[in-house]
Structure 1
Amino acid sequence: MNISYNWLKQYIDLDLSPAETEEKLTLSGLEVEGIEQIGSDFEGFVVGEINQVRSHPNADKLQICDVNLGNKEVQIICGAKNVAKGQKVPVATVGSTLPVPMDDGSYLKIKKAKLRGEASHGMICSESELGLSDDHSGIMVLNSDLQVGSSLKEALNVDKDTIFEIGLTPNRPDASCHVGVARDLSAITGKPLNNPYSELKPEKGSLDDHISISIRDEDKCHRYVGIMVRDLEVKESPAWLKQKLTAIGLRPRNNVVDITNYVLQEIGQPLHAFDYDKIASKKIEVKTFDKEMNFTTLDDVERKVPAGSLFICDGNGPVAIAGVMGGENSEVSLETKNVLIESAYFNPSSIRKTSKQLALQTDSSYRFERGIDPEIQLKAAQRAAELIRKYAGGEIVKGFTDVHPVKFEKREVSLRLSRINRVLGTSLTLKKAEEILNGLEFETTLTGEGQLLCKVPTFRPDVTREIDLIEEVGRIFDYNNIPSPTSSPFFTPETLSDFEVYQQKIKYFAKGLGYKEISTNSLLSPKEAEALAEKELQVETLNPVSQENTTLRTHLAGGFLKSVGYNLNRNAEKIRFFELGHVFRNANKENSTWVGGIQENVHLLMGSCGQKYSDDWQGSSSNYSIFDVKADLEALIQHLDIDKSVECSAENNYSLQYSLNGKTVAELKQIDEKTLHSFDVEKDAFVAEINISLLYEMGAGRDKTTYKPVAKYPSFEFDAAFTVDKSIRAGELSSAIHKNADETLQSVSAFDVYEGANIGEDKKSIAFRLTFLDPNKTLTIKDVEPRVQKIVQSLEKKFGAKLRS
């Protein structure tokens, strides 16, 4: 957004230099991202009069002009088609420098020259060469009343200007105009604000005899004001208006359209001027359509406007896309005699959606989608009407139409002085805080000792809480004026929630296992999302930033694989990463978390890829396997003290599911080749993904860590081999052993698997080492045998297992 330094001075007696103004704006939150000096003192430029024009003897496209400079007559060669005898023109005399840089960045200094054998002593300039506009179609023709030889600077009444490019944040729609920026400077400097809208009082009356205005969709249009000006003359805008618009990068069109743009840049209220005589049936309806509409906008482009978009319609149909752009079927032209000025308030989200869908952002939509002042519509229309009457002639039709179905009330927010000083670390007085807020047009009332009740102006939709008011005080007071603390910080960290402490515990454990933490994007491309989950689980964003970031992740594996690919491409061979982050999936209403239809959980991913050991003198290299990640996952399960309760099951040789109380809490798997290919990973990768939210809800590992002394008595180890079907997995047997043993069973580990003809073709033998420990005595075989017998009976009943002798 561009703001003119000279324009700002219309509303505030600004005694700051442009550099000082830039600093004040940036420190107050209106960051100046760029600065540009425009205009010129026009030293060496004068008003000349063309006495004679004759053809160049050696060039068809050039002409020789005899130009009176007041104190002498000089010959200047000119190639402009519109040059003519008797014109008053701007002349750059020999020795002057054009104010506009050339393509290479240098500036042209005027010298005596010969063009095709004829001498030229100066240059007759176009508006673009003077930096006044982009018009380079011909030379600039000046007012015939100007005195020959007078200074061009005085003749044009132009000054140098500084243009600030402000990176406006979405929460500051009030500062999207010159009055809004001047308001901040007024509060900072203490200089009064000269607001041209404060004294406007539109004349009472109605336009019902001239136009019927109605709002059919009140949710998307809260207010619509119409004012008419008739018998006007559409023509070129006055020089001052063109200069102001050109300075901030706008192209002047005609006096009516330029005035609506001027008011927009002045107060931030978008306006639109309709040719009243082109409005069919003399009625305006603000409404939406339930189907896609084809509509040709002012830029002569036919657009497909999605269903549900808001239109301004006359008796025949749409004449404008509300809040975005008008249509060519009602635009103001040189033949226009009567205009209807539209000044409305449209719902920000509606305009934002339409603008995004059309990929069309205009100066109007830029303001509407951020939220404009809902109380300025009538005054803005009146301001435009009076300027049109002044510079286009005509008569303002008495009265106006103001359809206002949705009323706005000023929000009230309490502010405590103690809270201001605690948050900012200052020693401000209540008087100072009140002075700052009053300067920003907040109405304040003292409601108690050290407490204010603040009425928030309607142009500040971003101020809703006490902390917002504190931010206003801080930025105007100037953060540089806040002293550095001399003792401990004045803020104590907020206590972590139980769930945050739980996550920290998980993180520390993963780090202790040797994993490096990564933090990846929550958004994936459609291709990546499809590789990880079914379409019905995916949550897609409505307005993605790019096609690479369209879908919320359903698993953390996507970010892990992208990180793996990045590291492998840079010759990193040993990869062990973990991430703790949120995943999102479509769900029914009962399973939703924060947003209806979407389930959001915190997951932990631990993953490995590449070399575990590299070649060295002790041995050859080896790669990570699924068992490395499995060992770490089961170490975490044991750390959470749920190892005896978790059941393990497998669908195939590449993945395992871990369940607690019938709910899947973790999955261990080797990434399949198709998924690896989708993420451009060419090495085997293994991941364990754990639902931390579910484990927390189920109380896993939430008990405080307690000290348990080392046992006084030795453990007792018992080896048992079971013959089972080949389809039975060791993990299933291990879980069943834990489930059917008492608390003396400390651990179960499989140490041997045997297959052979002597035990059956479809059978295998799995040997387990069972470790028992009783803290109160030394166990003997007599103590252990009954426990083992119970385990054997349970395995025989569930799996048909036989104990081998």
Structure 2
Amino acid sequence: MKISYNWIKKYLSINNLISIEKISNFLTDIGLPVRSIKKTLIENHVEDYILDIEITPNRSDAMSHYGIARDLYAVLTFRGYKKVHLSKPIIHYKKDILFDKEKHCFQIFIEEKKKCIRYSGLVISKIKIDISPRWLNFRLKSVGIKPINNIIDVTNFVMHELGQPIHVFDLDQIEGNKIIIKNAKNHTIFESIDNVTRKLNKKDLMIYDTIKPLSIAGMINSKNSNINIKTKNIFLGSAYFDPIIIRSIGRRHLIKTDAKFRFERGVDPDQTVYALQRTAVLIKKITNCKICSDIIDIYSHPIFPFKIKLRYKKIKEILGQSISNKKIKKILFLLEIVVIFECDKYLLVLVPNYRIDVQREIDLIEEILRIYGVNKIKISDNNIRISPLPNFFHKTKEKIQKVISKKLVYYGFQEIINHSMNNKSKFSCLFNSFLNRKEIDIMNPINKFYNSMRTNLLFGMIDCIKYNQNRRNVDTKFFEIGKIYFQKNKKFLEKTFLSISVSENEKEKSFITDVKNSSFFYLKGIIEQIFQLSGISNYSQILSTHPFLENSISIQYKEKNIVILGKIKKEYFSISKKIEIFYAEIDWEYFISIIQKKKVIYVPCSKYPTSKRDLSVLIDKTISFEKVYRIIKEKEKGIIKKIKIYDLYEGINFPKSKKSYTFSFFFESNKKTLTDVFIHEVMKEIEIFLKNKLGATIREENKLI
């Protein structure tokens, strides 16, 4: 958004006391970053500066010159600039405007009162469409607006001055001297001034006369209602629409106008009449027209200022230090936030309607910090503490389950829910004997297929996968968090597990295609991402056995199994030979207990660069990555921050008993920049160590990346 420095000075009365550089710095301090400053010349060779400001969507109050000036006034006054005064253009409407003796009879009706909260309008007659005066042309050109004619230019000027869009219609094209705000009828054809024909539906909020649509919610006019060189009489409208409605309509019809840009972010509902008066006064001065109606203002459901309780204790808790009560109240006063009650512990305040982004106590604290100055908040060693694990602030089971489920959904998994009862079978007996579990029989089953409580999540997962495969949905990713039930040592027990599966067609692998058993590593990567999110590290993995999984591994934490992972044996479940299914099961209760005990200690990021090296080795098939990882970590000098498998290969050109690993090593120090010579020496030591310990063969030289 482009802002004129001279234009802002009109409202602040700062003359040349504050340089453009300081204004730029102050704007950045209060959260309105200045992207660029351009020096320019306007009328009579007067210098001006144009600031390109980046404004977040929630700060609709700052999308005007007066809005920027209002924010600058607050920060400049608070920081000691005593000669700064904020002045809004003063309008003596009844004094400045001489009404025509014959007032025009005009009516406004709002049918959709929840969508159009407020609508104000007036009629002006005997205007003359012409070019705008030089001052208005220059002012608009300075902020990138192309002048059109004196009427449209005034409405654009007011919109950029106050942030309130003003729409103007040719009065002689309005049938019945009525404005009606209502929804369109389905299949209504609307030809707009941008030469686009739009098909409306009953969700579209429109401005109508008694017969036809005039505008899509004040965002864009129809061809027939817009003013032209022959226009003699006009109707001015100023409105507050529900921002959500405007946003949906604008998106549906691909409307991109300045009015839509402001309406969808929320304008000030208390400013519609003032902006209308300001527009009428300017048009009167420029065209010597006649105002032939009173302002009609329909505001059936007024929006009242938001009431918030602001606690002094909460401010200190959030900011980490105290700010005097006097300074807090001064900041609120400068931001036009009214204190209606105060005591030793808190303030009760009313937030002006133009600050739609301030609706919570934390929003108020952010405003105080913004004006007070982030740089004034001192950070000491006492502020750095052991804090709860990010994403699990409450550390309840429900909170953790919600976070993990969302993460899996983000990765493309779908949650399933299976019956907690199943049918006894020889497979379930095999499974239960392997895990030393005894099934719990149901005394009065609803049918023969549900005669016992389930002792695992695997069989339900397989049934769900087969159900989808029978309907040609082969590539699936499922997860389930559920309970199992069994007897052990004459006790009835129930435990919760998280089961995750990935199934795919062998010929058309959908996840990673370059590596054999790619889905195994994909699923293992998902488990590792969950662990990383949960703050679980220093886990290990070992080869394991499972009656229904081949090439399975167990991931252990503190020498206790937390995850079982492997490829499902197809022969037990009548699964097509073309389908591969990989399955992982997490001991959910153990997983939760680890997180609830976990604490995270803040460690500053290293200011020195990270270097990467790759190493390819040929080793025996029986040697796992976990073993290689442990051996390397024993030898390295605390400078290897991460080790990743870059590639795994078995097959052609290699002995059947061998496999090839390519590792990526990430080197980083907290004390100094690591030189290439030093890293090269460490890599040589690792190579020698792998040769001696594992009989590894180094396949190629380290690569610098």
TM range (shorter): 0.5 to 0.7
Partner Cα separation in structure 2 for residue 421 and residue 257 of structure 1? 50
SS in structure 1 of the partner of residue 370 of structure 2: helix
SS in structure 2 of the partner of residue 235 of structure 1: coil
For 1:78, the equivalent position in structure 2 comes to: none
Query: Counterpart of 2:67 in structure 1: which amino acid?
Result: G
CA shift for structure 1 position 167 = 2.0
For 1:145, the equivalent position in structure 2 comes to: none
SS in structure 1 of the partner of residue 114 of structure 2: coil
For 1:430, the equivalent position in structure 2 comes to: 325
CA shift for structure 1 position 25 = 1.0
Partner Cα separation in structure 2 for residue 215 and residue 180 of structure 1? 29
CA contact (8 A) 1:442 1:456 kept: yes
Partner Cα separation in structure 2 for residue 566 and residue 201 of structure 1? 77
Change in 2 beyond 3 A, CA 1:333/1:375:
same
CA shift for structure 1 position 484 = 2.2
Partner Cα separation in structure 2 for residue 581 and residue 391 of structure 1? 70
Q: Where do 1:123-202 residues align within 5 Å?
A: 156-190=43-77, 191-196=84-89
Q: Deviation digits for residues 334-392 of structure 1, max 9, x if unmatched?
A: 22111110001111111100111112221111111111111111111111011100111
For 1:354, the equivalent position in structure 2 comes to: 249
Q: Where do 1:468-487 residues align within 5 Å?
A: 468-487=363-382
Partner Cα separation in structure 2 for residue 289 and residue 279 of structure 1? 17
For 2:701, the equivalent position in structure 1 comes to: none
Q: Where do 1:736-775 residues align within 5 Å?
A: none
Partner Cα separation in structure 1 for residue 403 and residue 141 of structure 2? 60
CA shift for structure 1 position 159 = 2.2
User: Structure 2, unaligned stretches of length 5 or more?
Assistant: 78-83, 415-472, 478-499, 535-541, 596-705
For 2:6, the equivalent position in structure 1 comes to: 6
Q: Where do 1:382-531 residues align within 5 Å?
A: 382-489=277-384, 493=388, 495-499=393-397
Change in 2 beyond 3 A, CA 1:421/1:574:
closer
For 2:31, the equivalent position in structure 1 comes to: 29
CA shift for structure 1 position 263 = 0.8
CA contact (8 A) 2:64 2:162 kept: yes
User: Structure 1, unaligned stretches of length 5 or more?
Assistant: 41-155, 508-516, 525-529, 535-554, 584-602, 605-611, 614-625, 656-669, 673-684, 706-805
Q: Deviation digits for residues 539-591 of structure 1, max 9, x if unmatched?
A: xxxxxxxxxxxxxxxx99699x999549879x9997664337999xxxxxxxx
CA shift for structure 1 position 158 = 4.2
Query: Counterpart of 2:39 in structure 1: which amino acid?
Result: Q
For 1:19, the equivalent position in structure 2 comes to: 21
SS in structure 2 of the partner of residue 351 of structure 1: helix
For 2:217, the equivalent position in structure 1 comes to: 322
* Higher Rg: 1
Query: Counterpart of 1:468 in structure 2: which amino acid?
Result: D
CA shift for structure 1 position 33 = 2.6
CA shift for structure 1 position 417 = 2.4
Query: Counterpart of 1:578 in structure 2: which amino acid?
Result: G
Q: Deviation digits for residues 73-126 of structure 1, max 9, x if unmatched?
A: xxxxxxxxxxxxxxxxxxxxxxxxxxxxxxxxxxxxxxxxxxxxxxxxxxxxxx
SS in structure 2 of the partner of residue 9 of structure 1: helix
CA shift for structure 1 position 293 = 2.5
CA shift for structure 1 position 315 = 2.1
Partner Cα separation in structure 2 for residue 556 and residue 25 of structure 1? 52
Change in 2 beyond 3 A, CA 1:164/1:506:
closer
Partner Cα separation in structure 2 for residue 275 and residue 372 of structure 1? 25
Partner Cα separation in structure 2 for residue 304 and residue 193 of structure 1? 46
CA shift for structure 1 position 431 = 1.2
For 2:489, the equivalent position in structure 1 comes to: none
Aligned alpha-carbon RMSD (Å):
4.6
For 2:184, the equivalent position in structure 1 comes to: 289
CA shift for structure 1 position 451 = 2.4
Q: Where do 1:710-749 residues align within 5 Å?
A: none
Change in 2 beyond 3 A, CA 1:19/1:649:
farther
SS in structure 1 of the partner of residue 303 of structure 2: coil
SS in structure 2 of the partner of residue 382 of structure 1: helix
Partner Cα separation in structure 2 for residue 212 and residue 330 of structure 1? 17
CA contact (8 A) 1:227 1:382 kept: no
Change in 2 beyond 3 A, CA 1:499/1:357:
same
CA shift for structure 1 position 196 = 1.8
Query: Counterpart of 2:30 in structure 1: which amino acid?
Result: S
Residue 578 (1) aligns with residue 510 (2): no
Change in 2 beyond 3 A, CA 1:233/1:556:
farther
Residue 341 (1) aligns with residue 258 (2): no
Partner Cα separation in structure 2 for residue 393 and residue 486 of structure 1? 68
Change in 2 beyond 3 A, CA 1:338/1:433:
same
CA shift for structure 1 position 216 = 1.2
CA shift for structure 1 position 435 = 1.1
CA shift for structure 1 position 175 = 0.7
Partner Cα separation in structure 1 for residue 476 and residue 41 of structure 2? 59
Normalised to the residue count of structure 1, the TM-score between the two structures is: 0.53
Which protein, 1 or 2, shows the higher relative CO under an 8 Å CA cutoff with sep ≥ 6?
A: 2
CA shift for structure 1 position 278 = 1.2
Query: Counterpart of 1:498 in structure 2: which amino acid?
Result: T
Partner Cα separation in structure 2 for residue 628 and residue 182 of structure 1? 70
CA shift for structure 1 position 627 = 4.2
Change in 2 beyond 3 A, CA 1:350/1:483:
same
For 2:175, the equivalent position in structure 1 comes to: 280
Normalised to the residue count of structure 2, the TM-score between the two structures is: 0.59
CA contact (8 A) 2:310 2:348 kept: yes
Partner Cα separation in structure 2 for residue 366 and residue 449 of structure 1? 42
CA contact (8 A) 1:629 1:687 kept: no
Change in 2 beyond 3 A, CA 1:280/1:288:
same
Change in 2 beyond 3 A, CA 1:573/1:296:
same
Partner Cα separation in structure 2 for residue 278 and residue 501 of structure 1? 60
Query: Counterpart of 2:85 in structure 1: which amino acid?
Result: P
Change in 2 beyond 3 A, CA 1:288/1:576:
closer
Choose the corresponding residue for 2:155, options 240, 255, 260. 260
CA shift for structure 1 position 434 = 1.2
Partner Cα separation in structure 2 for residue 635 and residue 425 of structure 1? 37
For 1:381, the equivalent position in structure 2 comes to: 276
SS in structure 2 of the partner of residue 10 of structure 1: helix
CA shift for structure 1 position 305 = 3.2
Partner Cα separation in structure 1 for residue 107 and residue 293 of structure 2? 15
Q: Where do 1:566-715 residues align within 5 Å?
A: 577-579=524-526, 627=549, 631-632=553-554, 639=561, 652-653=574-575, 687-688=582-583
Q: Deviation digits for residues 10-59 of structure 1, max 9, x if unmatched?
A: 1113433222222211221112233333337xxxxxxxxxxxxxxxxxxx
CA contact (8 A) 1:18 1:162 kept: yes
SS in structure 1 of the partner of residue 300 of structure 2: coil
% same residue: 31
CA contact (8 A) 1:224 1:403 kept: yes
Change in 2 beyond 3 A, CA 1:163/1:649:
farther
Say which structure is richer in helix.
2
Q: Deviation digits for residues 117-137 of structure 1, max 9, x if unmatched?
A: xxxxxxxxxxxxxxxxxxxxx
SS in structure 2 of the partner of residue 312 of structure 1: strand
Change in 2 beyond 3 A, CA 1:232/1:654:
same
Query: Counterpart of 1:182 in structure 2: which amino acid?
Result: A
Partner Cα separation in structure 1 for residue 221 and residue 152 of structure 2? 12
